[in-house]
């Protein structure tokens, strides 16, 4: 099963639900690239890894403050669920469906 695709996502953040689009391009070698775009702008995925149907990645957020986000999610069919870890703000649940 490929994790590649475009997902309509929601991250439950301290500032309310943040809707976005997560795009994943599987490199076929256990890594992926892509980006997450939403109301806070667009963030490129720096280093993404694929382990079965679990993906892990980092993004550098600039708005509303500079911060590195550590993310992990599981793709199950057309669903994606996981967490976005935002340093001192803790883990924010992420969920979505393939577009």
Angle at 61 between CA 55 and CA 65, to 5 degrees: 145
Residue owning tokens 């993310």: 71
Per-residue model confidence as pLDDT tens digits over 20-31:
999 999 999 999
Q: Is the pLDDT of residue 47 over 90?
A: no
Global pTM reads 0.92
pLDDT at 39: 81
Structure tokens at 73: 């999610």
User: What mean pLDDT is predicted for residues 5-21?
Assistant: 94
Q: Running DSSP on this structure, what letter comes out for residue 52?
A: T
CB 25 within 8 A of CB 46: no
pLDDT grade, residue 1 (50/70/90)?
low
């Amino acid at each position: 099963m490929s994790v590649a695709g475009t997902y309509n996502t929601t991250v439950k953040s301290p500032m309310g639900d943040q809707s976005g689009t997560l795009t994943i391009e599987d490199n076929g070698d256990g890594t992926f690239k892509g980006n997450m775009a939403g109301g806070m702008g667009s963030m490129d995925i720096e280093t993404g890894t694929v382990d079965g149907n679990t993906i892990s990645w980092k993004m550098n957020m600039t708005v509303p403050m500079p911060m590195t986000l550590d993310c992990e999610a599981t793709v199950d069919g057309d669903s994606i669920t996981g967490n976005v870890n935002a340093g001192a703000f803790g883990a924010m649940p992420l969920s979505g469906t393939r577009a």
